[in-house]
Amino acid sequence: MKKQKLFWFLVLLFGVAIIWLAIQHTNITHTDAFLVDVGLPTSPVDEQIIRHAAIALSYSELHEQARWVTYSLNPLRLGGKEERSDRFAADQAVLTGSAADSDYKKSGYDRGHLAPAADMSWSAVTMKESFFFSNISPQVPAFNRGVWKKLEETARRWAKQCDSVIVVTGPVFTDSLGVIGGNEVTVPSAFYKILLMFRGNDIVPAAFLMPNKKLEQELASFVVSIDSIEELTLVDFFSGLPNALETEVEANKCVLLDGKVTHPVFRFKRAS
Q: Is 30's pLDDT higher than 60? A: no
Q: Is 11's pLDDT higher than 60? A: no
What's the pLDDT score for residue 69? 97
Q: Is 42's pLDDT higher than 50? A: yes
Maximum CA extent, the chain: 76
| Active-site residue (options: 52, 63, 113, 263) | 113
Greater pLDDT, 113 or 37: 113
What CATH superfamily is the domain 32-267? Extracellular Endonuclease, subunit A (3.40.570.10)
Q: Is 25 a catalytic residue?
A: no
What's the pLDDT score for residue 36? 63
What's the pLDDT score for residue 88? 96
Greater pLDDT, 130 or 32: 130
The pLDDT > 70 percentage for the chain reads 85
Domain boundary assignment for the chain: 1-30, 32-267
